[in-house]
Chains A and B, each alone.
Chain A
Amino acid sequence: MSENRTIRIIVTRQDRPDTAPYEEEFVIPYRPNMNIISVLMEIRRNPVNAKGEKTTPVAWEMNCLEEVCGACSMVINGKPRQSCTALVDQLEQPIRLEPMRTFPVIRDLQVDRSRMFDSLKKVKAWIPIDGTYDLGPGPRMPERKRQWAYELSKCMTCGVCLEACPNVNSKSNFIGPAPLSQVRLFNAHPTGAMHKAERLEAIMGDGGLANCGNSQNCVQSCPKGIPLTTSIAALNRAATIQMFRNFFGSDEV
């Protein structure tokens, strides 16, 4: 691979949200230790495709460059992942870059992940602490539980789990694994638990928890190793209990 000293990349491009996608190939000089971001930067520096024609630079998103923001996610050689931590030396060539089509494509590799942020609002993935007066400090969280919850809090809303899920697509309104797992996180928090039922009601609505069909692709794909399917099963249990409470009545509100 290193003898020819070049890198071949095939990018699935799309000029506008409503135009048809097409493939464009690029050959760029090899440098050691490149990631996909530096490959795309090289194309941006010299936007000439493999046929030697001048073209537009490829559009993509990035921010943290250390796999904590999720913005740079794209499908690389068939698998959705972050382009900042995808190293060229570990990838088979030609490297194929595609946008995560589960989301609306804005341009080239850039997608609109708004639906994930809308879902987080829908499931109330926050802890309300504002009042008309000082509410004082909340209950303490046991250290063991904090460590456990920290794992769930690593989600960066990257969208990889939605891309991998066969039940998240244009035919369904399933919100996907990430926002569900956030419900488990916020319901585990001692102050957050005060709004547990509200969050459960939200995911027991249309497009919610029940749409999971257990393909378990999400847990295999999450770059942060979040135990998504354990979260979903735990929420299924909580929802079962909530369902009985709602129907038969309970003083737990």
Chain B
Amino acid sequence: MAQNREFFYRRLHSLLGVIPVGLFLTQHLVVNHFATRGADAFNKAAAFMEQLPFRYFLEIFVIFLPLLFHAIYGLYIAFTAQNNVSRYGYFRNWMFMLQRLTGIITLIFVVWHVWETRVQAAFGVEVNYDMMANIVANPFMLAFYIVGIVSAVFHFANGLWSFFVSWGITVTPRSQQISTYVTMGIFVALSIVGIRAILAFV
């Protein structure tokens, strides 16, 4: 790697985690939440998303490439840390460890989820309510989905906290404390949206 690129890559990683990946995650969960209003509502919402103009362009540049960069560089960051929560059991150190752990869980989940849905769609399978209902009919897969959703949402919410620090927005301990409350609020709220959505397919 070229010299002195690290700062740029880290800031890019941080930015992409929120814009667009974090925004996409939020949007994705909200659209899925239509499933709570029944199969038709979900199918209509999903069809609307599928018919967005420039769909492939949006998928590649707003979702796929940013996520790919964030995930690969995130793995590198995660594996350069030497976690030490047993020695330093402070709250933020736990969050540091969980940020890395949920990143890895999210990666495994997302790869599986994309394979099962988007890649199958590329092979001609129709993505709709029934497809998801079939997947989560298996209790093991339902548990896997819940873990995946909660870990992605935690990773995003806590990532938002560190995003505010990384860009120098929250500087004082007080602002960082309030930011913890707000981002954990986002974690709870988005988790409810995500879990309600997945349970609607059961």
Q: A residues touching B (Cβ–Cβ < 8 Å)?
A: 78-79, 164, 166-167, 169, 171-172, 204-211, 213-217, 220-221, 227, 229-230, 232-240, 243
Contacts and interface: CB of A to CB of B under 8 A. Distances in A.
Contacts of B165: 214, 229, 232-233, 236
Contact of A237 (B92, B162, B168): B168
Contact of B93 (A166, A210, A235, A237): A166
A54 B92 CA distance: 45
A33 B82 CA distance: 36
A217 B91 CA distance: 9
Nearest to B83: A166
B80 interface: yes
Nearest to B81: A166
Interface in B58-80: 77, 79-80
B166 interface: yes
Interface of B: 3-7, 9-11, 77, 79-84, 87-88, 90, 92-93, 95-97, 99, 162, 165-173, 176
B168 A238 contact: yes
A240 B7 contact: no
Contact of A220 (B4, B79, B90, B169): B90
A230 B88 contact: no
20 contacts: A166-B81, A166-B82, A205-B3, A206-B3, A206-B5, A207-B6, A210-B6, A210-B10, A211-B6, A217-B88, A217-B93, A232-B165, A233-B170, A234-B171, A236-B165, A236-B168, A236-B171, A238-B168, A240-B167, A243-B7
B4 A233 contact: no
Contacts of B7: 204-206, 208-210, 239, 243
A234 B166 CA distance: 10
Interface centre among A167, A204, A215, A229 (most CB of B within 10 A): A215
Given A205-B4, A240-B168, A214 B82 contact: no
Contacts of B92: 214-217
A171 B171 CA distance: 28
B111 to A, nearest CB: 24
B96 A215 contact: yes
Contacts of A78: 87
**Lowest 5 CB-CB distances: which A-B pairs, in order?**
A237-B168, A210-B10, A215-B96, A216-B92, A236-B168
Contacts of B162: 213-214
A233 B88 contact: no
A235 B171 CA distance: 9
A239 B169 CA distance: 12
Given A164-B88, A166-B93, A206-B4, A233 B168 contact: yes
A234 to B, nearest CB: 5
Contacts of B5: 206
Contacts of A208: 6-7
A221 B167 CA distance: 24
A89 B77 CA distance: 41
Given A171-B79, A214-B92, A227-B173, 9 more contacts: A79-B87, A210-B10, A215-B96, A217-B84, A217-B90, A217-B92, A229-B173, A230-B173, A233-B176
A216 B99 CA distance: 14
Contact of B88 (A204, A220, A234, A240): A220
A169 B82 contact: yes
Interface centre among A213, A217, A227 (most CB of B within 10 A): A213
Nearest to A171: B80
Interface centre among B3, B79, B166 (most CB of A within 10 A): B166
B108 to A, nearest CB: 21
A122 to B, nearest CB: 12
Contact of B6 (A206, A235, A239): A206
